[in-house]
Amino acid sequence: MRTVMIMFDTLTRNYLSNYGCDWVKTPNFQRLEDYCCKFDNFYAGSMPCMPARRDLHTGKYNFLHRSWGPLEPFDFSAINTLTNNNIYTHLCTDHSHYFDDGGCTYHNRYSTWQGFRGQEGDRYMPRLGMINPNQDKHQKIGVSPNQNYANMVNIKDENDYSSVKTIDAGISFIDHYHDTSNWFLQVECFDPHEPFNVPQKYRDLYDLVDDVETNWPPYMPVDDDIDLMKLRKEYASLVSMCDYHLGRILDKLDEYNMWEDTMVIVNTDHGFLLGEHNYIGKNFWPMYQEVSHIPFFLHVPGIKPRIIRQLTSTVDIVPTLLDYFDIEIPDDLDGKSLIPVLTGNTKIHDYVIFGVHGGFVNITDGSYVFMKASCTKENDPVAECTMMPTNMRNFFSESILKTAQLEKGDRYSNQLPYLKFINKTNYLDSYSFGDLLFDITNGEKQIIDDQVAQKYKNLLMNIMMKLEAPKEEFERLGL
């Protein structure tokens, strides 16, 4: 009994042939349908990167309580639980945020891990005097573009890319241990997250022959100077690179006939806006379908592949892993095992929620999405509930640390005490958009219906009470 999880960061379902895309070349994602169930109503939970990974360890939403941060000392970790139940766990990744202050407790839960350096702004190669020659008004500003340029200088061919090294490591693990049992392998690529760095051969697939100008877009509203088609082709090039290397893993699963006795998961944390709704990026804008409605594939031995239309979420991966390995599932998780969905068409959720800490809080039943905005422009108070006061690459500021108060513990912290900090410098602005309601039964159509909106507002409030969201979150949202 084994599991292979292949995870990509920022994989948008609208760029996969499995979900109707007819121009991005993804033959190996298409191969998944020969063995895997394809989920058509699967949603992210907590976003972006590290909050999503916390959902993947805990099976609980964390965005109501915490922004980007490490796994907490009080958290239940499914990976740790597998290890404690004699399931060997191994992580191969080039996601550099695992090794920053705000993510440094996740990878240590695995029995062993391999990390490969150089993605995005990973503080890796010396950057003294390095200036990114492609940096212009459509590029990111600050340290990261120059850092990425320094990291890329040493890449001579495709085998030097950290994502390729990650796939190589996963394949090596499979080669060595395909005939043993009781292990979980997580092969996790930072791609196709921006910047969209790829060998030219993948850009050639989309007739991209000029200099790279738009492969690292800032998160911004679309303006007339941005060539959206070129930007989308740059992203498509990286998706096709991911597809090629996914195929290498699938070849190994075929070679060793592992589909008969190995669960396979292919997933992502969230999508990305590439001009849809006139925005680029994520986090800052409403969590439109392109960001929150994500691709997901699951193979369980003995179950025939088909399309799964039941409402499901990232938080369901944890109980699915525990169920597959026959380990007791804690009764206070937000997620539910997906195996009954595959075997009996069981409905496991009436509603799921998703969001970014301090931004919109969103709820969907698969027919409508309701997005609850902050009730004030100041967007406060925003509570940080943690025993690990770090951001992405640094500690909380002194001004935030001074707000610390000890909480006695609740459902969120598994009844253990934690610190609550009040952050008055949250960068998100949902107030300017106001509450939003979408009919998603056929695309994504914004509607105005006060009665329907009130229904979902009440449902959201009930869910937040059940999840014991901080009182400050009710105040911020005007609930």
Q: pLDDT at position 251, please?
A: 98
Architecture of the domain defined by 2-343: 3-Layer(aba) Sandwich (3.40)
pLDDT > 80? residue 103: yes
Burial environment of residue 157 by CB neighbours within 10 A (0 to 12, 13 to 18, 19 or more): exposed
Closest residue by Cα to residue 58 from 357, 322, 339, 268? 322
Percent of the chain clearing pLDDT 90 (strictly above): 90
pLDDT digits (tens, 9 = 90+) for 158-192: 999 999 999 999 999 999 999 999 999 999 999 99
User: Prior bond to 192 cis, omega within 30?
Assistant: yes
Could you tell me the two tokens for 415?
């009844």
How many other C-beta atoms are found inside a 10 Å radius of the C-beta of residue 228?
15
Work out the average pLDDT over 117-122: 95
Torsion sign across C-alpha atoms 299, 304, 307, 308 = negative
pLDDT > 90? residue 299: yes
Between the alpha carbon of residue 223 and those of residues 136, 220, 227, 430, the distances in Å are 15, 9, 9, 21
Q: How far apart are CA 292 and CA 313, in angstroms?
A: 10
Q: pLDDT at position 111, please?
A: 98
Between the alpha carbon of residue 306 and those of residues 36, 37, 443, the distances in Å are 7, 5, 22
The residues, ordered by sequence, that sit 6+ positions from 14 with a Cβ below 8 Å of its Cβ are: 20, 21, 271, 290
pTM metric for this prediction: 0.97
- Domain locations in the chain as residue ranges: 2-343, 352-477
Q: pLDDT at position 141, please?
A: 77
Q: Which DSSP string do the residues of 123-175 spell out, in sequence order?
A: S-S--TT---TT-STTS--SHHHHHHHHHHTT--SGGGSHHHHHHHHHHHHHH
The residues, ordered by sequence, that sit 6+ positions from 257 with a Cβ below 8 Å of its Cβ are: none
The residue count of the chain comes to: 479
Between the alpha carbon of residue 165 and those of residues 27, 238, 343, the distances in Å are 21, 15, 36
Burial environment of residue 444 by CB neighbours within 10 A (0 to 12, 13 to 18, 19 or more): middle
pLDDT > 80? residue 425: no
pLDDT > 90? residue 31: yes
Partner residues linked to 298 by β-bridges = 37, 265
pLDDT > 90? residue 448: yes
Q: pLDDT at position 432, please?
A: 96
Work out the average pLDDT over 97-112: 97
The owner of tokens 């790279």 is: 212
The owner of tokens 């939003």 is: 436
Which residue type sits at 71?
Answer: L
Which residue type sits at 399?
Answer: S
pLDDT > 80? residue 369: yes
Q: pLDDT at position 424, please?
A: 76
**Buried-state track 70-92, b at ≥16 Cβ within 10 A, e below 16:** bbbeebbbbbbbbbeeebbbbbb
Work out the average pLDDT over 23-45: 98
- pLDDT bin (cut points 50, 70, 90) of residue 134 is confident
Q: pLDDT at position 136, please?
A: 66
pLDDT > 80? residue 139: no
- pLDDT bin (cut points 50, 70, 90) of residue 130 is confident
pLDDT digits (tens, 9 = 90+) for 379-422: 989 999 999 999 999 999 999 999 999 999 999 999 999 999 99
The residues, ordered by sequence, that sit 6+ positions from 357 with a Cβ below 8 Å of its Cβ are: 46, 51, 63, 64, 65, 66, 67, 68, 382
Pairing of strands 445-446, 436-439: antiparallel
pLDDT > 90? residue 118: yes
